[in-house]
Structure 1
Amino acid sequence: MCRNIKTLFNFDPPVADSEIHEASLQFVRKLSGFHTPSKTNEEAFHKAVDEVAAAARILMDSLVTNAEPRNREVEKERARARNLKRFGPQA
C-alpha cells in the first residue's frame, strides 16, 4: 500500500478532517495512477476523494479502543529514529 498514508486512529488530539482528506487523496492517487487528473477525469477523481474521506470519517468515528491515545510528537520522533536507522544520516 501507499507509504504516505499514515495511521490516523487513536491520537490525541483526534484526527482532523484535513488529515483524512490528505490520506483519501493519496489513496485515490494510488488507485487511479494520477497525481493530477485530466480535465476529463477531474470530476470523478474529486468525487472519489470526497467519498473515500466520508467513509474514512465514519470509520474513525466508529472505532473504539481501550488503549491510551498516542502522542503525535512521540510518534514523529519514533518515525525519525526508524528512518535514521534505515537510511542513515541525511546530508
Structure 2
Amino acid sequence: MCRNIKTLFNFEPPVTDDEIRAASLQFVRKVSGFNKPSKANEAAFLAAVDEIAAVSRKLLMSLETNAPPKNRAEDAARARARAAQRFAG
C-alpha cells in the first residue's frame, strides 16, 4: 500500500490538494489495515484522512529549500525505469 505514497515536496509544478489527499488516504489505509472501512468505521477513517491531509499541507507549505525544484516527468520516468528493472525477467 505505501508504495503509492510519493514525495510531495519541492516539485514543479507544486503539489496539489488531490495529491496530498491521495497520500493521506494511503497512509490511513496502511495504519488502519482497511482498504475500505466498514460503515461503522467510515466516519473515523475519513476524519483521519482529512486531518492528515491538513497537517501534511501545512508541513509542505512551511518547508524551505535552496535546491531547485524537481521535475515531475523526469522523476516519474526514473521510477518507471526502476520498476521495469526490478520486475524484468
- For the criterion TM > 0.5, the same-fold answer is yes
Q: Which residue does 1:63 correspond to in 2?
A: 63
Q: Is 2:44 aligned against 1:44? A: yes
Q: CA deviation at 1:63?
A: 0.4
Question: TM-score scaled to structure 2, two decimals?
Answer: 0.95
State the alpha-carbon separation in 2 of the partners of residues 78 and 46 from structure 1.
33
Q: Which residue does 2:30 correspond to in 1?
A: 30
Superposed CA RMSD in Å reads 1.3
Structure 1 stretches of 4+ with a deviation exceeding 3 A read none
Percent of aligned pairs with the same residue?
65
Gaps of 5+ in 2: none
Q: Which residue does 2:6 correspond to in 1?
A: 6
State the alpha-carbon separation in 2 of the partners of residues 50 and 33 from structure 1.
17
Question: TM-score scaled to structure 1, two decimals?
Answer: 0.93
Across the two proteins, how many residue pairs are aligned to each other? 89
Aligned partner of residue 4 in structure 2, secondary structure: coil
